[in-house]
C-alpha cells in the first residue's frame, strides 16, 4: 500500500488514493473551522488526536456489529479506509438539547430529551448543509425510503453503543454527526467520530470537551481533545 495522489481536501481532512482502487488514505489536519467556515483556526495536534479517537470508536463499533470504513491506522495522522461513495446526508443524533436544536426550539442547553432525536442535513456547503426531512430526501433522490430507514436505525444503534461506552468513562454524549457511504453494494459508516463531530460533556461538571470550546472561544481546546482520548484509550 502506497500513498497516491490527493483527490479531495475538506475542512479537516485530506484523502489520497492508494495502489488499491477500493482503499484510500485519510489524513487528519489541525485546521479548525466553525459556522460553515466563517471561523477558522488551528488546534495543535487535533489531527493526531482525531485520528486516534476515530480509530478507537470505529474499532468499538466493529466489535458491536456495526460495519465501518475503517481498516487500520497507518501513522499518527493517517488511517487506511475503504473507499466510499458518500451519501450526501448528515445523520445527527441528539440526546440533550444543544447547538442548533436548542436555538430552534428555544430550549435551555442541556435539557434532557425524552428519547434520542434523529435529524437529517443535506450535505451542500453552498447551501449551508440545510436541515431536511424524509420528503426532501425523496425529492432529492439521494436515498430510498428503505435506505433512509436503515440510516436512522443504524444511527440509533450507534448512539446506544456510544452512550453506554462513554457513560462508563464519566462522559455524556450530547449529540453527534454521522456520515455513511456505499461500498460494494453495502451502506457502511464513514467519515470520523471525534470531538470535531460530537459534543462530549464531563458527566460530573458538564464541562465541554469538544469543538464547542473553539466555536465559543472557551479556551483549553487542545486539552479537551486530549482528555477525550485519555478517557477512551
Alpha carbon distance, N-terminus to C-terminus of the chain: 27
**Phi and psi at residue 66, to the nearest 5°:** -100, 115
Is-contact 116 108, C-beta < 8 A?
Answer: no
CA distance 1 to 7: 17
Neighbouring C-alpha atoms within 13 Å toward the C-beta of 227: 17
- For the stretch 154-160, contacts whose Cβ atoms lie closer than 8 Å and that sit 24 or more positions apart, written own/partner, are 154/66, 154/180, 154/187, 154/189, 155/91, 155/93, 155/118, 156/93, 156/116, 156/118, 157/66, 158/61, 158/66, 158/93, 158/189, 159/93, 159/95, 159/116
Measure CA 215 to chain center.
Answer: 16
Q: Which of 27, 16, 56, 23 is nearest to 193 (CA)?
A: 56
Instruction: Per-residue pLDDT tens, the chain, 233 aa: give them.
Output: 667 899 999 999 999 999 999 999 999 999 998 887 678 999 999 999 999 999 999 999 999 999 999 999 999 999 999 999 999 999 999 999 999 999 999 999 999 999 999 999 999 999 999 999 999 999 999 999 999 999 999 999 999 999 999 999 999 999 999 999 999 999 999 999 999 999 999 999 999 999 999 999 999 999 999 999 999 99
Domain positions in the chain: 3-82, 85-219
Look-up: residue for cell 487500520? 72
Using a cut of 0.85, tell me whether the model's pTM lies above it. Answer: yes
CATH topology of domain 85-219: D-amino Acid Aminotransferase; Chain A, domain 1 (3.30.470)
DSSP 53-64: HHHHHHHHHHHT
Instruction: Give the residue carrying C-alpha cell 464531563.
Output: 202
Q: Answer whether 3-82 and 85-219 agree in fold.
A: no
Q: Does 3.40.50.150 match the CATH number of domain 3-82?
A: no
Amino acid at each position: 500500500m502506497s500513498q497516491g495522489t490527493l483527490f479531495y481536501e475538506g475542512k479537516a481532512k485530506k484523502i489520497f488514493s492508494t495502489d488499491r482502487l477500493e482503499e484510500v488514505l485519510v489524513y487528519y489536519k489541525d485546521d479548525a473551522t466553525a459556522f460553515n467556515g466563517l471561523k477558522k483556526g488551528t488546534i495543535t495536534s487535533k489531527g493526531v488526536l482525531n485520528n486516534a479517537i476515530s480509530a478507537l470508536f470505529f474499532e468499538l463499533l466493529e466489535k458491536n456489529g456495526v460495519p465501518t470504513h475503517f481498516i487500520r491506522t497507518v501513522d499518527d495522522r493517517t488511517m487506511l479506509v475503504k473507499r466510499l461513495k458518500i451519501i450526501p446526508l448528515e445523520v445527527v443524533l441528539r440526546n440533550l438539547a444543544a447547538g442548533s436544536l436548542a436555538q430552534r426550539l428555544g430550549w435551555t442547553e442541556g435539557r434532557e430529551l425524552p428519547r434520542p432525536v434523529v435529524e437529517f442535513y443535506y450535505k451542500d456547503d453552498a447551501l449551508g448543509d440545510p436541515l431536511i426531512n424524509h420528503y426532501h430526501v425523496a425529492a432529492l433522490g439521494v436515498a430510498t425510503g428503505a435506505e433512509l430507514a436503515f440510516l436512522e436505525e443504524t444511527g440509533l444503534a450507534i448512539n446506544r453503543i456510544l452512550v453506554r461506552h462513554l457513560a462508563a468513562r464519566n462522559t455524556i454524549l450530547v449529540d453527534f454527526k454521522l456520515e455513511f457511504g456505499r461500498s460494494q453494494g453495502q451502506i457502511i459508516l464513514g467519515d470520523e467520530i471525534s470531538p470535531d463531530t460530537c459534543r462530549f460533556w464531563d458527566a460530573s461538571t458538564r464541562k465541554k470537551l469538544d469543538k464547542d470550546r473553539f466555536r465559543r472561544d472557551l479556551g483549553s481546546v487542545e486539552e479537551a481533545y486530549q482528555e477525550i482520548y485519555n478517557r477512551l484509550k
